[in-house]
Chain A
Amino acid sequence: MNLRPLCLVFSNLALLSTVILSGCATPPNNAQPEATEAEDFNDPFEDANRAIFDFNQVVDRNVLVPVAKAYRTVLPDAVRDSLRDFLRNLREPIIFANNALQGDFDHAGQTFARFTLNSTLGVGGLIDVAGRWGQLPYYEQDLGLTFGVWGIPEGPYLVVPVLGPSDPRDLIGQVGEGFGDPFNRLVTGNPYTLYWIPFVRGGVSGIDQRSRYIETLADIERTSLDYYATIRSLYRQRRAALIRHEKEQNLPPPASFSRNDGPVPSVKPPQAAMASEAQTISEVAR
């Protein structure tokens, strides 16, 4: 639970530093049921977040979506899948590190096998040989999830310019991964010092991901009464579910689904207060 040194490392990032630090100062969640967690907005910076969200929406509509659509139109499916597999392969060392840090050695082994197979037989990762023919599917991991598995709290919900929904835990994870990534270190270190490569990599990866959710997100936005609130809830529930899933995997195998004595999660979240009364209501951001 020793977050402070980590916080200090990033405290000179002028942007958002106060936000991150205040997030780190948040006391750990005292074992509340997940339902309450998802119920609470956990959004003390809602006004700022909504303003950044609106800005991101402008960028999304005018830059990301048009580029993602062009990307989808111009490149054939096979080429895009190959590009995605290549970018995923670059992530495998980081995923391996996260598997290991979580004590999940089964997946660490799988990730290692994937990376080895795909980097060689898969021509530098361009073909996902391991996933397609080796029964070893890609398995996403990141440092934010590892922090979560360790029991570090998420901190307040944040919307990061361009990058979107996050929280201090995930943001620090992302920054940490950016610096720690072996591929990034290789291309930016001597003798290459190609500092633009990690940015191109991040940009292409972002466009590829966006291109796969164009209709889904448009549907959600069209049918939502409050798109911001929906995205906030989806993001937080999704991250919590992934962390829960990782923790469960490290436990002994669960009881069979058909038996009645399996672990029983609460279906109906307690009727706890949804958000603190102190939270000010704002009419400004919209």
Chain B
Amino acid sequence: MRRIVLTAFVLFVGALGPAILTAAADPAAVINNLGNRALEVLGKNATPAQRVARFHELFREDFDVPGIARFVLGRYWKTATPEQQDEFTRLFEDYIAIVYSSQLSAYTGETLKVTGSRADPEGAIVASEIIRPSGAPPVKVEWHLADQHGTYKIRDVAVDGISMAVTQRSEFASVIQRNGGQVQGLIAMLREKTGSASGR
């Protein structure tokens, strides 16, 4: 499923390109623009480390990273110390960058078409479809954006009705529970996962 989400990042903007860059206040434009940015992440001959770095940048600029980090930690956010919250947010960002940038490499020419957008108490929801070159039925992807002082930041991605943020939160909660309710257990696992995968 994550693979499908990743392909969602990679979209074909075609003629829209530069015109849309100026319209950052339009939530649909944010998603359209994301596709160009994702193709930049892939780049030509980019090394895995370069891809991770570029994804970091994209994630920080287009996503509400602090909001997402808080959400995926759920009720354990409040039980964590400020130091743990900081470290968790940092590790979470690393984790997402490593996971998603490596999976973006599996890109096989999928295109993403924005099919509509609607307002929402938090900001906006942009609906899109991933068109697959294989001719398989398109995958529906909904982007949930938060309006932060006039700029839109992505807060969640729902693929065929499955929320990536809810999935992540459920997994993290399970890890914490199995570590005796300690956030530190999750932090240790994230350290290990990001440390080994990035070769540090």
Contacts and interface: CB of A to CB of B under 8 A. Distances in A.
Interface of A: 35, 38-39, 41, 137, 215-216, 219-220, 223-226, 228-230, 232-234, 237-238, 240-242, 244-245, 256-260, 262, 264, 267-269, 271, 273-275, 279, 281-283, 286
Contact of B2 (A41, A219, A271): A219
Contacts of B36: none
The residue among B1, B116, B186 with the most chain A CB atoms within 10 A of its own CB is: B1
B171 A233 contact: yes
Contacts of B155: 267-268
B160 A229 contact: no
B116 A219 contact: no
A258 B118 contact: yes
Nearest to B155: A267
B170 A225 contact: no
Contact of A245 (B3, B161, B170, B190): B161
Interface stretch (B12-20, B45-53, B55-63, B172-180): B172-180
Contacts of A269: 166
A257 B171 contact: no
10 nearest A-B pairs in the assembled complex, by CB-CB distance: A241-B161, A257-B116, A229-B174, A233-B170, A223-B99, A260-B119, A237-B162, A229-B171, A233-B167, A267-B122
A273 B75 contact: yes
B146 to A, nearest CB: 8
A279 B1 CA distance: 28
Nearest to A240: B161
B163 to A, nearest CB: 7
Interface in B19-72: 71
B117 interface: yes
A210 to B, nearest CB: 15
B2 A223 contact: yes
B163 A237 contact: yes
A216 B106 CA distance: 10
A268 B167 CA distance: 13
Nearest to A274: B173
Given A35-B166, A229-B170, A237-B166, 14 more contacts: A216-B3, A225-B189, A229-B174, A229-B175, A232-B174, A233-B171, A242-B161, A257-B117, A258-B117, A267-B121, A267-B155, A275-B173, A281-B177, A282-B178
A39 B172 CA distance: 11
The residue among B3, B156, B171 with the most chain A CB atoms within 10 A of its own CB is: B171
A39 B170 contact: yes
B161 A267 contact: no
